[in-house]
Amino acid sequence: MISMKIPVDKIRDVIGTGGKVIREIVEKTGAKINVEDDGTVKIAAVEKESLEAAQKWIVGLTAEPEIGAIYEGKVVKVMEFGAFVNFFGAKDGLVHVSQLAAERVESPSAVVKEGDIVKVKLLGFDDRGKVRLSMKAVNQETGEAIEGVVDDGPQGDRPPRGDRPRRDGDRGGRGGGRGGDRGPRRERSDGPKEGAE
């Protein structure tokens, strides 16, 4: 039997709606679990493997991944812009195409496929709170961090602003012709108001 402590606000994650999650943990691991209101979790099992499996499951549900840490994960979905990796309990993160390998990658499916076990480094979170991961920052054989890998983020493959053909100088300034058109429009719109009764 072991006892562990989880944040009180994570209790609902372990129990689940109507006890669905905790029932699944008990069924899959064979351990008995008791969760108290102060966040104390007691796990009991006949076999050590069941105990450890239940503990690992609960840690995965309640702990938060650390930025800069390296995790082993499973590729769960491959998209044209990168691959989603389940790396921390139930948590998934995106390995953007620019973070898949040291060399330029044209197609993520050429590097990984669903079901692959990979090592990833947690780079951080984007402005929407989504997890950003990197494979190229980790030696896939040894699991050690590779120093000097630049985190170019999801913008890595976008052309620089100067190369984008949006503002080429031929559209004219904001004042110019447009400003001259606005005066007469105001006069025309004011005219009917004065004559209207």
Q: Per-residue pLDDT tens for 48-69?
A: 999 999 998 898 888 888 899 9
- Total of domains in the chain: 2
Structure tokens at 56: 């690992």
Phi, psi for residue 63 in degrees, rounded to 5: -80, 160
Domain boundary residue among 62, 90, 111? 62
**CA Rg value for the chain:** 28
Domain range enclosing 44: 2-62
Tokens of 189: 């719109």
Q: What is the pLDDT of residue 151?
A: 61
> Could you please report the per-residue DSSP string of 4-69?
EE--GGGHHHHH-GGGHHHHHHHHHH--EEEE-TTSEEEEE-SSHHHHHHHHHHHHHHH--PPTT-
Which of 17, 41, 62 represents a domain boundary (last residue)? 62
Q: Which range, of 108-112, 115-119, 125-129, averages the lowest pLDDT?
A: 125-129
Give tens-digit pLDDT for 19-34: 999 999 999 999 999 9
* Residue 129: band (very low, low, confident or very high) from pLDDT cuts 50, 70, 90: confident
Q: Residue 150: what pLDDT?
A: 63
Residue 51 and residue 78 in one domain: no
User: For residue 164, what pLDDT band results from cuts at 50, 70 and 90?
Assistant: very low
- Residues 147, 138: Cα–Cα separation, whole Å: 9
Could you tell me the pLDDT band of residue 152, with boundaries at 50, 70 and 90? low
